[in-house]
């Protein structure tokens, strides 16, 4: 158990370090790289590549490299994205976004395969229920991993708040913030002004170092799955051909239940994208300054994490439909309020109320849709 637990902790803290960097950088994309919508475009390309990757790459890489090296190499794809931000342009950020997207699916698949195989192996030796051990391992993983949203955004806010050029935002400029965003590159004189290059490079350096530490942690301390365990997994992965793997996704569309889940999973992505892309740019960065983006996203991550645990527990008493209705009502109320609200620095608390409510709703979408 001790050795298996060590491996679970290595993966957990490896993901913590990696997504501390990626999560913080993702939240800042629309603000740091706002010219011609580069930041938002990079995230769109990233997730498009992730969709393609998930269709065929995971079983191929896990079969050829094993879980440990698939995790390590996939983590390097995330580091490439951090490096691309040092000189953000269409020629650097878009290719590194594609690289990250291609590495994302194998990373998560290899992690799931590793924890499942390790849990099953220990349960067989200890004579325990495999499902219970696997659930414990995933519980430990998400306990550690979920805090990455807090640390990544805290780092960005602490570093970016060191800017010596504090810009006073005029009432006229504040009129351009919010739902009827009228900011353009020529009027970019408000809090949306970019920090100095030295601060950006410092932030990116910290994020890149965090990613490198994650890779080293996995390479040095994570045990490769024993050959007999690995072969069992490989047998499962070898059976389907490339095309059968590729087409398997579309075969699920024959099931009406799967088709009904598609709008839910799509909306889950839309609402997360809105908060990290649009809300952070046209509300927070515009009215308060980019240094507040991290603090706002910390609020979202903390509420999301706590409510995920809560809703996971109470869903057995309330059922999923009631929770979905509650999340729908909360999101709808937030959207209407955001359409009507004119953000102003004097209303500082309100900037945190919206991500808190959004985190509460997102907790429902994540726990219940995955369930």
What pLDDT does residue 249 have?
Answer: 63
What pLDDT does residue 56 have?
Answer: 79
> What is the mean predicted confidence (pLDDT) over 278-295?
87
* CB atoms closer than 10 angstroms to residue 185: 8
> What is the mean predicted confidence (pLDDT) over 147-152?
86
Q: How far is CA 278 from the centre of its chain?
A: 16
HSE-up (13 A, CA, CB side) for residue 211: 24
Q: What digits encode the pLDDT tens for the residues 186-201?
A: 444 444 556 788 888 9
Residue 152 above 70 pLDDT?
yes
Per-range mean pLDDT, top range of 12-16, 164-168, 235-239, 294-298: 12-16
Residues 6+ apart with CB under 8 A from 30: 39, 40, 43, 276, 277, 278, 280, 281
Residue 62 above 50 pLDDT?
yes
Q: What digits encode the pLDDT tens for the residues 333-351?
A: 999 999 999 898 989 999 9
Tokens matching residue 217: 């942690």
Q: Specify the range with the lowest mean pLDDT, choosing from 27-36, 210-219, 324-333.
A: 27-36
* Average pLDDT for the chain: 83
312 versus 109: which is more confidently predicted?
109
What is the C-alpha separation between 155 and 21, in angstroms, rounded?
Answer: 9
pLDDT band at 266 (very low <50, low <70, confident <90, very high): confident
| Helix 197-221 × helix 2-32 angle, to 10° | 160
**Residue whose structure tokens are 């997102």:** 362
What is the C-alpha separation between 178 and 27, in angstroms, rounded?
Answer: 17
Domains, the chain, ordered by start: 1-162+195-223+242-249 (1.20.1250.20), 255-370 (no CATH)
Angular region, 173: left φ>0, alpha ψ -120 to 50, beta rest: alpha
List C-alpha distances in Å: 64 to 68, 69, 160, 231, 234: 11, 9, 42, 11, 9
What is the C-alpha separation between 148 and 17, in angstroms, rounded?
Answer: 7
pLDDT band at 228 (very low <50, low <70, confident <90, very high): very low
Closest CA to 71 of 209, 220, 205, 206: 220
Asked if residue 86 lies in contact with residue 204, where contact means CB atoms within 8 angstroms, the answer is yes
What pLDDT does residue 319 have?
Answer: 80
Tokens matching residue 348: 């500082």
Residue 226 above 90 pLDDT?
no
> What is the mean predicted confidence (pLDDT) over 249-271?
78
Q: What digits encode the pLDDT tens for the residues 72-88?
A: 999 999 999 999 999 88
What pLDDT does residue 44 have?
Answer: 86
């Amino acid at each position: 158990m001790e050795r298996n637990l060590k491996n679970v902790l290595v993966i957990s803290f490896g993901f913590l370090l990696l997504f501390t960097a990626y999560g913080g950088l993702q939240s800042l994309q629309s603000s740091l790289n706002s010219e011609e919508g580069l930041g938002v475009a990079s995230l769109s390309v990233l997730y498009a590549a992730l969709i393609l990757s998930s269709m065929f790459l995971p079983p191929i890489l896990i079969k050829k490299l094993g879980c440990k090296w698939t995790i390590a190499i996939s983590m390097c794809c995330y580091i490439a994205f951090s490096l691309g931000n040092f000189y953000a342009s269409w020629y650097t950020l878009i290719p590194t976004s594609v690289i990250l997207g291609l590495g994302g699916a194998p990373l998560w698949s290899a992690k799931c395969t590793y924890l499942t195989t390790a849990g099953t192996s220990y349960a067989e030796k200890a004579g325990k229920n495999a499902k219970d051990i696997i659930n414990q391992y995933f519980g430990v993983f998400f306990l550690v991993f979920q805090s990455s949203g807090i640390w990544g955004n805290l780092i960005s806010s602490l570093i970016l708040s060191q800017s010596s050029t504090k810009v006073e935002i005029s009432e006229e400029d504040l009129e351009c913030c919010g739902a009827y965003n009228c900011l353009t590159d020529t009027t970019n004189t408000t809090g949306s002004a970019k920090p100095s290059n030295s601060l950006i490079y410092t932030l990116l350096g910290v994020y890149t170092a965090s990613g490198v530490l994650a890779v080293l942690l996995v390479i040095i301390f994570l045990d490769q799955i024993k050959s007999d365990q690995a072969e069992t997994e490989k047998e499962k992965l070898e059976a389907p051909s490339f095309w059968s793997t590729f087409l398997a996704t579309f075969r699920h569309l024959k099931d009406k239940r799967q088709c009904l889940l598609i709008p839910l999973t799509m909306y889950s992505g839309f609402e997360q994208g809105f908060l990290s892309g649009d809300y952070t740019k046209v509300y927070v960065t515009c009215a308060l300054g980019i240094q507040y983006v991290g603090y706002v996203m910390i609020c979202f991550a903390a509420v999301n994490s706590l409510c995920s645990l809560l809703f996971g527990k109470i869903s057995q008493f309330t059922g999923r439909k009631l929770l979905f209705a509650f999340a729908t009502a909360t999101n709808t109320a937030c959207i209407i309020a955001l359409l009507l609200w004119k953000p102003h620095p004097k209303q500082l608390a309100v900037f945190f109320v919206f991500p808190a409510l959004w985190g509460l709703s997102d907790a429902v979408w994540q726990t219940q849709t995955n369930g």
